[in-house]
Amino acid sequence: MDLTFIINNQYHERMTNANPPLVLSAAALLAADIAPRRDLLAPLLSADSAALVYGPGGIGKSLFALSLAWTVAAGGSFLGWRSPRPHRVLYVDGEMGVAAVRERLALLGPPPAGLAVMAHDLGHGPGGGLLDLSEDAGIERLMTAWNRPELVVLDTLSSLVGLRSGEAERWARVQRFLLHQRRRRRAVLLVHHANRKGALRGSTRREDLLDLVIALRRPDAGPPAGGARFEVHFEKARHGATPLAPILANLETDAGRATWRWGPPYSGRLERAAALLNRGLSASEAAEALGLSRTSLFRLKAEARARGLLDRESSTTESGT
């Protein structure tokens, strides 16, 4: 039987209401023999995670995503997070091109056997042309080509999904795709752009289905660096037992090989936001002073409150924030 037909049939069968859902009592659910969540990169990614990393142009999003994919495929560590064993990983490039992907791969060393790459200028099998994952035909082409990966990295969301046109409908299809992968115990990492104010481009409603949202931000202080350098902030981490602390990551290159260094971030935006709020500025005023969106400022405020950086009075002003 034709593989495309099989994938198409399975995909639609799971994405529609053709079959009634299974209902269990709470007692039966607790007693059921359900496989535990498997770590791909502890404590960041598990086997059924839907994650997103975003940041401004040129900050190093693709290097971050490719390094993460490389580590999960090889087993080992990346920025302090550990992959317990090698896994099958597919990195789908919709923006850089195969030459740029190869240059970045060469920096990381001998590639692991489980890492596969699909670049937009290599072609995508039957039908050819760019891959559009907001259409069923694009998803079928992707799933026909892959070898049942445990992690799929989609770089970038805007190039592979085309969210600028008919965004709500197209994103709804992406959500159904993510739900389908979660049911198959397959993790997906989306790479996306920040807007001019540094916040996630597009509607924040996209975050509803995501287990993990990572923001890459330019450091406010510290020495310059020749390679990629950014702060890693965790804006949402649904499954973490403990909050994930921000880190400062720096990619150093020497003789054609790259090494990631990381540590705590320099004092910067979080502390400045807390200081402004403690001085009595409203969230709107503090956001304007820092050149941030209100959404970004509210996230900083929540982080500052959790770390005990806010005075009691400033932490309770502007109800609901």
Residue 194 and residue 97 in one domain:
yes
- Is 28 within a domain? no
Angle at 314 between CA 312 and CA 320, to 5 degrees: 100
- Of 263, 281, 301, which residue is a domain's last? 263
- Is 116 within a domain? yes
What's the CA gap between 120 and 109, in Å, rounded? 23
Residue 142 and residue 74 in one domain:
yes
Residue 72 and residue 220 in one domain:
yes
Range of the structural domain that residue 49 is part of = 38-263
Distance of CA 5 to the CA centre of its chain: 30
- Of 221, 236, 263, which residue is a domain's last? 263
- Is 32 within a domain? no
Q: Are strands 76-78 and 50-55 parallel, antiparallel or unpaired?
A: unpaired
Residue 171 and residue 248 in one domain:
yes
Q: What is the pLDDT along the chain (321 residues), one digit of tens a residue?
A: 334 434 444 555 445 555 677 888 888 888 888 877 789 999 999 999 999 999 999 999 999 999 999 999 999 999 999 999 999 999 999 889 999 999 999 999 999 999 999 988 875 444 455 778 878 888 888 888 888 999 999 998 888 876 555 667 777 888 888 998 998 999 999 999 998 878 887 766 677 889 999 999 988 655 555 568 999 999 898 876 567 888 999 999 888 899 999 988 765 677 778 888 888 888 888 888 777 778 878 888 888 888 788 886 655 555 444
Residue 170 and residue 102 in one domain:
yes
Residue 109 and residue 226 in one domain:
yes
What's the CA gap between 78 and 76, in Å, rounded? 7
- Is 9 within a domain? no
- Of 247, 263, 279, which residue is a domain's last? 263
Please identify which residue in the block is written with the tokens 């498997």. Answer: 38
Residue 141 and residue 280 in one domain:
no
H, E, C per residue of the chain? CCHHHHHHHHHHHHHCCCCCCCCCCHHHHHHCCCCCCCEEEECCEECCCEEEEEECCCCCHHHHHHHHHHHHHHCEEECCEEECCCCCEEEEECCCCHHHHHHHHHHHCCCCCCEEEEEHHHCCCCCCCCCCCCCHHHHHHHHHHCCCCCEEEEECHHHHHCCCCCHHHHHHHHHHHHHHHHHCCCEEEEEEEECCCCCECCCHHHHHHCCEEEEEECCCCCCCCCCCEEEEEEEEECCCCCCCCCEEEEEEEECCEEEEEEECCCCCHHHHHHHHHHCCCCHHHHHHHHCCCHHHHHHHHHHHHHCCCCCHHHHHCCCCC
- Is 15 within a domain? no
pTM over 0.85: no
Residue 295 and residue 215 in one domain:
no
Q: What is the pLDDT of residue 190?
A: 95
User: Please, what is the end-to-end C-alpha distance for the chain in angstroms?
Assistant: 56
Q: How many CA atoms lie within 13 A of 247 on its CB side?
A: 13
Residue 299 and residue 254 in one domain:
no
Residue 192 and residue 162 in one domain:
yes
Please identify which residue in the block is written with the tokens 């909050």. Answer: 243
Please identify which residue in the block is written with the tokens 């592979």. Answer: 160
- Is 210 within a domain? yes
Cis peptide before 243 (omega within 30 of 0): no
Residue 277 and residue 173 in one domain:
no
- Is 16 within a domain? no
- Is 82 within a domain? yes
Q: What is the pLDDT of residue 50?
A: 95
Residue 172 and residue 221 in one domain:
yes
Do 37 and 46 form a contact (C-beta atoms < 8 A)?
Answer: yes
Domain count, the chain: 2
Q: What is the CATH number of the domain that holds 256?
A: 3.40.50.300
What's the CA gap between 178 and 30, in Å, rounded? 25
